[in-house]
Structure 1
């Protein structure tokens, strides 16, 4: 049973990152379905890479440079997988007028003006927010931001239907509806990351990330009737930014 769970975790790593996994890890639609519970764990892994790079770079360069290098490391580790989803989603919702046209645009490998603007704002936004944080807090913010945002994407898997069951689909659904147990497992990894942050900041970050996810889910439901893989990437990116915004929020005493 333990080996099976380890295989599910590595399956999630293989799907969402460019990191190598053991050769004995198999691949099947069923295994990918079960791996959804480990999406936040992959966030911990990617955030950990960013935190390590930030910590090492901060010994040699100013915090802004360390943040830039940490962002480059996480993007390299994931192959800009989620950034691509954000770009495609914004292009589709910005340029489409009905479900079919939106899905056609999202499938197109070309990047439109909406997608370019979204990627630039997302990257600049994350950089600005992380630089504005207390440098000592940045490594823990990276761990939690990547884990929480992937849990937000997992919530879409648990509550919405996959809508690309047609010839436009780039790939099969990532996962079917998650069970309560799988969702709880995913939440455990989020809790591990949040435990490293001050409680008030963790709560504020999760609140804003949750609001961003709720808003996106409503938009996807209205225009698509569900989600696509690109929608999950967009949710991860926007909820990560929202989480950092929450960490920076100043509340009156």
Structure 2
């Protein structure tokens, strides 16, 4: 059951060739722990280009290529939609802006900030010891996925759609997801880097979820994607800062 749910999570959250079928999808949407489990797999893959003996610019560029090669562009597409919605002052037009196929200034700005931010985070990461790099990248990805599990478990969905299909979660299931995420914190022990990285990612998701409830009337698939992208970005930077100050 867990492996089937993990396969469903990886099929939804990444472009890894794990196959797509209804059983895996159904298992995933009922298993909150599959979110952080997928985070370990994805985070481990994303850390690879940062620990290779490459020049800083090459490592940062390869990291960006790996992020979107592994995870696809669905999540950052959600961020772009939220960027367009944030640029609209009329509350009634925000949802329409998210569904508009035209790319607005808000979308361009949001995507540019995240891509540039990831590149700068990579520049900071490649200067750290490889073990620390792996610990930060994995913790950031697990925190982003645990945040998505929290949105699925506790968020109010604005409308029926792909996002609302993930709402079949229980409080007990989310508690298991939290327990599953704890080893990501321990990777950087005895420093507090893991705690800072995880905490920053979860706080970012909470802010995105609160904003979505106030501005959009609830959670949607686009909110999931935006929370994932912003949480990863903030967590990586906080992880680098936490290591630098430790």
Secondary structure at the residue paired with 2:30?
A: helix
Structure 2, unaligned runs of 5 or more: none
1:64-120 Cα deviation digits (max 9, x unpaired): 32132122112111212211111111111222522x422222122332111111111
CA contact (8 A) 1:12 1:36 kept: no
Q: Which residue of 2 aligns with 1:214?
A: 206
Structure 1, unaligned runs of 5 or more: none
Determine which of 205, 216, 231 is the counterpart of 1:239: 231
Secondary structure at the residue paired with 1:161?
A: coil
1:142 Cα offset (Å): 1.5
Alpha-carbon distance in 2 for matches of 1:37, 1:131: 31
Alpha-carbon distance in 2 for matches of 1:246, 1:64: 21
Matches within 5 A, 1:97-108: 97-98=90-91, 100-108=92-100
1:212 Cα offset (Å): 2.0
Query: What TM-score comes out, normalization by structure 1 length?
Result: 0.84
1:209 Cα offset (Å): 2.4
1:29 Cα offset (Å): 6.6
Matches within 5 A, 1:46-85: 46-55=42-51, 58-59=52-53, 61-85=54-78
Query: What TM-score comes out, normalization by structure 2 length?
Result: 0.87
CA contact (8 A) 1:50 1:70 kept: yes
Secondary structure at the residue paired with 1:143?
A: helix
Q: Does 1:19 align with 2:16?
A: yes
Determine which of 82, 100, 123 is the counterpart of 1:131: 123
1:204-225 Cα deviation digits (max 9, x unpaired): 2233323322322221111222
Q: Does 1:164 align with 2:164?
A: no
Q: Which residue of 2 aligns with 1:188?
A: 179
Residues 46 and 215 of structure 1, relative CA distance in 2, 3 Å threshold: same
Alpha-carbon distance in 1 for matches of 2:117, 2:245: 24
Alpha-carbon distance in 1 for matches of 2:7, 2:29: 13
CA contact (8 A) 1:148 1:190 kept: yes
Task: Tell me the C-alpha RMSD between the 2 structures.
Answer: 2.4
Determine which of 88, 104, 111 is the counterpart of 1:112: 104
1:22 Cα offset (Å): 4.8
1:177 Cα offset (Å): 5.0
1:163 Cα offset (Å): 1.1
Q: Which residue of 2 aligns with 1:93?
A: 86
